[in-house]
Amino acid sequence: MELTKVAFGGGCHWCTEAVFQMLIGVEKVEQGWVASIEKNNTFSEAVIVYFDLEKINLKTLIEIHLLTHKSTSNHSMRTKYRSAIYYFTQQQKEDCLKIIEKLQVGFKYKIITKVLEFKDFKPNTEEFQNYYQSNPDKPFCKNYINPKLTFLLQKFSKNIDKRKVAHLIPTT
């Protein structure tokens, strides 16, 4: 099986990692910091997602990304939490731009997420990898990650690997 990769930055990389780890077709998520080129050459919290195109498509991944972080908000922390999709090929760049354009109609405000060239990656330290799976009962996970995963279960249930979330999200 050949995997495709794309990187996403938005909010906290612990949240982003947890969201993508729950999806059918996502085989690996690397959490850390990504840098692009030119004015976006500084590192920003992000994840690299390795996925199987036969099980999940780029449009679904992008839609989930846009809906699980503040993709329309240009807040003061955008240097640390750059709202971005980092592409690895020219074709992927073109696909990402078309997908965002099509998804824009479903958003009240303009999507500010940038489509940027992937340049470099620095992984987070081992103690913070798989943060949600290792710490589901911590207040950060309960307050910030659980609502995102609950949203995923409601809006993208067909894309969720139920085995990955059954023991993590309390059912109410």
For residue 114, the one-letter residue type is K
The pLDDT, as a whole number, for residue 75 is 74
- Per-domain boundaries in the chain: 4-165
- Please give the Cα distance from 143 to 53 (Å, whole number): 32
The pLDDT, as a whole number, for residue 166 is 61
**May I ask the CATH class of domain 4-165?**
alpha beta
Q: What is the DSSP letter of 51?
A: E
Nearest to 49 by CA among 111, 96, 90, 94: 96
Q: Is the pLDDT of residue 168 over 80?
A: no
- Please give the Cα distance from 55 to 44 (Å, whole number): 28
Give per-residue pLDDT as tens, 37-60. 999 999 999 999 999 999 999 999
Nearest to 2 by CA among 34, 19, 25: 25
> pTM to 2 decimals?
0.93
The pLDDT, as a whole number, for residue 146 is 93
- Give the catalytic positions in this structure: 12
- Please give the Cα distance from 33 to 42 (Å, whole number): 9
* Mean per-residue pLDDT, 67-96: 90
Nearest to 168 by CA among 122, 155, 147: 147
Is the CB of residue 31 less than 8 Å from the CB of residue 90?
no
- The structure tokens 């059918």 sit at 24
